Structure 1
Amino acid sequence: MILPLHIEISDKLRICESRLVATINATQTTLEVTSGEAATNFPSYVPFLVLIESEIVNVTDKSADTFTITRGQKNTTAASHTSGTPLRAILYSEDLYLDRILTYEGEVLIHEGNILYN
């Protein structure tokens, strides 16, 4: 199951999303997100997974708004993605340690097996 959220070390849930600044082809190993959003919308640590359309990439480094990525993770296929395409950090349920989630802010809704944060 793919969960569109991120759990910070402070145990708070938040959506981590942005858009591609430029088109990327299926072999590129870097991507750029909307200015300022890498620092505010994504984890401060690496690695983490990002979903772009139907492709999952592993972010292995982050510098300003540029991510260094490993393509086609979790049995997905590397593909081209156009400028403006949304992307978001994701977690897989097997990657969660639910016994370590102590608190959250806001309302967590369960819908069709996904956790959504409002």
Structure 2
Amino acid sequence: TILVLPITILSIKALQRALKQTATYRDIRSQKVTEILNAIKIVKLFNTEKFQEKKISNLYNKEQIQLKKACLAFASLTTCGFTSNVMMSMFTFGIMILNNSFDLSKTFTMIYLFT
């Protein structure tokens, strides 16, 4: 647990940061789309469709990058959660073997505690 805890904390912080940044980019992108739709006559009049499309596409790409970061952070968080019990069991059994205190009652107790 001691080894997994820092990784879990870092993963949670990275996930929070990425989701917050994703929400910011999503808000900015939706605001830009709303502005463009409200001023579509001006956009058509001055022929700036490509420029506006690039601006929105750039914001969308930034949003997707933050979503990928959030997915990686969530994946590492769930991996730590699923593997911590196995690692603790292996660590405990290793210590029991090194101390020559490996008997049946302690073994089943440890299996019960870590599953």
Instruction: Please tell me the TM-score bracket, short chain as reference.
Output: under 0.3
TM-score (norm 1): 0.20
Say which structure is richer in strand. 1
Say which structure is richer in helix. 2
TM-score (norm 2): 0.21
Q: Using CA pairs under 8 Å that are at least 6 residues apart, name the structure with larger relative contact order, 1 or 2.
A: 2
Greater Rg, structure 1 or structure 2?
Answer: 2
